[in-house]
Amino acid sequence: MGNDWIDASLGLTFSLPLFERYRKNGLLQAELHHVPGIRGRCKGYLHLVEGKVVSCHIEDRQGQRHQVNIAMLIQLDNERGPFEWMLVPLPDPPRPSPRDLPPPPSSTEPVLNSPTPQKLGSLDLEKLEGWTHRQKMMLSIVFEVVDGQRTVEDIKTDVPLPPNVVEEALRILLALKAIIIPSPSSPV
């Protein structure tokens, strides 16, 4: 099967335009050092969907995630790197055919009965022994999208994974007690 990752250690300035040109999906990651405001080494992550950066964060040694701007990561990589970036590929987002699309909603109201997951804390991927790197990254991507605002249906649309994989990831996050799905409040 070959490598499960793509070497991007020539730096973000070189690699990001190529990933965009070839519409790559995945998680670009590297060990970073000398990051302003963070002590010691940490990990940088860029989530790519069809070659576009959709989110960036840095994870410190304590597992705390810090949202960052792509421009800051590029500048850091140019000034103190290039770091050893690797792209862990993820499956292409599903492309529904027009036949598979639901009919347009009759109003702008959200889909009824679609619960809204909420985070209970952080997700410690190091505790998931026996899990592959790819499984951990898919779980992490779904966890990142949970914000207490998006419904399950929104998350299945926003994450570049098949809907059944997203549902399974949400079930796992529930079992790990990383998220909760409160019962919807009854209409008043």
* Cα 43 to Cα 4, 68, 172, distances in angstroms: 19, 12, 24
* Cα 161 to Cα 110, 126, 156, 170, distances in angstroms: 22, 22, 8, 12
Give the residue from 89, 122, 148 where a domain finishes.
89
Statement to judge: residues 119 and 84 lie in one domain: no
Residue 100 has pLDDT above 50, yes or no: no
pLDDT the model gives residue 108: 42
Q: What are phi and psi of 108, to 5 degrees?
A: -90, 10
- The CATH number covering residue 123 comes to 1.10.10
Average pLDDT along the chain: 80
The reply to whether 101 falls in a domain is no
The reply to whether 98 falls in a domain is no
Statement to judge: residues 17 and 66 lie in one domain: yes
Tell me how many domains the chain contains.
Answer: 2
Statement to judge: residues 13 and 74 lie in one domain: yes
Statement to judge: residues 80 and 120 lie in one domain: no
Statement to judge: residues 31 and 68 lie in one domain: yes
Is 187 or 148 the better-scoring residue by pLDDT?
148
Q: Write the pLDDT tens digit of every residue in 79-95.
A: 998 899 999 887 665 55
Statement to judge: residues 83 and 115 lie in one domain: no
pLDDT the model gives residue 10: 87
* Cα 155 to Cα 21, 163, 175, distances in angstroms: 26, 9, 18
In terms of residue numbers, what domain contains 35?
6-89
Give the residue from 89, 121, 138 where a domain finishes.
89
Given a contact cutoff of 8 angstroms between Cβ atoms, the answer to whether 116 and 146 are in contact is: no
Residue 117 pLDDT grade (very low, low, confident, very high; cuts 50, 70, 90):
very high
The sign of the dihedral angle between the CA atoms of 17, 22, 23, 26 is negative
Residue 42 pLDDT grade (very low, low, confident, very high; cuts 50, 70, 90):
very high
Is 137 or 109 the better-scoring residue by pLDDT?
137
Q: Is 32 helix (H, G, I), strand (E, B) or coil?
A: strand
Q: Write the pLDDT tens digit of every residue in 59-76.
A: 998 888 888 888 999 999
pLDDT the model gives residue 146: 92
